Amino acid sequence: MSVVDVFKKQFGATPAVHVRAPGRVNLIGEHIDYSGGHVLPVAIDRGIDLVARPRAGDRFRLISLQFHNIQECTLPPEKQSFWTDYVFGVVHEFGKMGFSVPALDIAVDGTIPRGAGLSSSAALEVATAWAIQNLVGSSLSRQEIALLAQRAENRFVGVNCGIMDQTASACAAAGHALLLDCNTLAATHIPLGLGGRAAILVAHSGVHRGLSASAYNERRRQCDAALEVIRSKTGREIAFLCAATPRDLDAAKDDLDDTMFRRARHAISEESRVCRAAGALRAGKLEEVGALFNESHASLRDDYEVSCPELDDLAHAIRAQDGVFGSRLTGAGFGGCTVSLVAAAAAKKIVGDLRKNYYLPRGICPIVFVTKAHDGVALMDV
């Protein structure tokens, strides 16, 4: 049954609004959005469908096609460490802006694999925000919707995430990667320049993404601490870690412990890789883009320590195929997915080989697909 059909069956009415928000895969620029760096995500063809309708009274009723049972509560709910937290975090943020959000019946469906690091949570936040915007008559821009969704995750869910995921889900454009300056929030749509030569391949490692809020926040603290040391040693007013140079890092090396040094080295080098990758995509230099993918994975594995054996094995297995430009982990790490740039003509064979020689021997349900760059959040027909 479709999400609209489930809504009608459960709540006995037709939804007033239907929104679809995409997940994202980050081509390059991992774990630097919160250090003021540039990132290069694309919206994918898997996402969240949310339908909603205002209801009388003060009780919200929510159902997910993935979890089935209906959740009911009034505002303000307590955090439950459940998917509904992302919805209510957004509701709270609209309230803080002075909007009166009515009680709602909500049904949600999703095609983003859970725990894959493809931003199902950000897509749910953006879908909720876009639906509420259309119900209460607000006129927030797409970037403002992204910022509201980020605040919901920071304040209510309790994950101190950067702005990349929500911005990709809200602001992406078909056929383009989104080059986002996470310091200024300036966004540029970069034509992918694949020209039918290449495709984006997403493959799940089989490991449910395990980066907890505590591990994520720990890395943010390490980066912040490294920045303070670099500022002190260089005497420069460096606004954010990704604005530091390799020379700045070298100047502070003796005062940074090994962990802080490696965290900072990843952030600074990854910033360079993103800017080079954007230029290479514009120029259609796919071999250069692939090499940058591979360098990024090594940095995330060795300096940022957010990879895992399964992600390393998967990236290696993909690179061993003919027609692969490069492969790297994407998302927060400790599981989840790789993103690879592969020759379009070889994509089908690569998918088949991974199913047979990577997933089957490991007894893993294969989640591997080719995607194009899609548009951001949109209203759909009810």
Contact 315/362 with Cβ under 8 angstroms? no
CA distance 26 to 144: 21
**b/e per residue 302-318 (b: at least 16 CB within 10 A):** ebbbbbbebbbebbebb
Catalytic residue among 33, 49, 109, 165: 165
Dihedral-angle region of residue 137 (phi above 0 means left; psi in -120 to 50 means alpha; beta otherwise): left
- Sequence-separated (6 or more) residues with CB below 8 Å from residue 348: none
CB 44 within 8 A of CB 23: yes
Run of H or E including 26: strand 17-26
Give catalytic status of residue 165 as yes or no.
Answer: yes
Residues 6+ apart with CB under 8 A from 324: 290, 318, 340, 341, 342, 343, 346, 350
- Known catalytic residues? 165
